[in-house]
Amino acid sequence: MAGNPPKRKVSRSNTRSRRSQWKAAVPTLVKTVENGRVTYSLPHRAKVVEDSQGTALYLEYKGRKVADV
């Protein structure tokens, strides 16, 4: 079922001021130090575990393997 048609025209200034309220939020990063290397990651996200050559091995969350890459 389609929505109802608009009752009246919305002015250009009202449309633009409404759209201007949409802003991108800055992600909160968590700083971790592993083996003397500082990394920043998003909280509550699985991180990629790599071997010494930089090849992705698997995804890890809270110290547990959750998925293969």
Distance CA 67, CA 11 (A): 50
Where are the domains positioned within the chain?
Answer: 41-69
What's phi and psi for 3, nearest 5 deg?
Answer: -70, 170
Strands (E), the chain: 30-34, 37-41, 47-50, 56-61, 64-68
pTM of the predicted model, to two decimals? 0.49
Distance CA 48, CA 39 (A): 12
pLDDT in tens, 12-54: 999 899 888 888 888 899 898 878 889 888 888 998 888 989 8
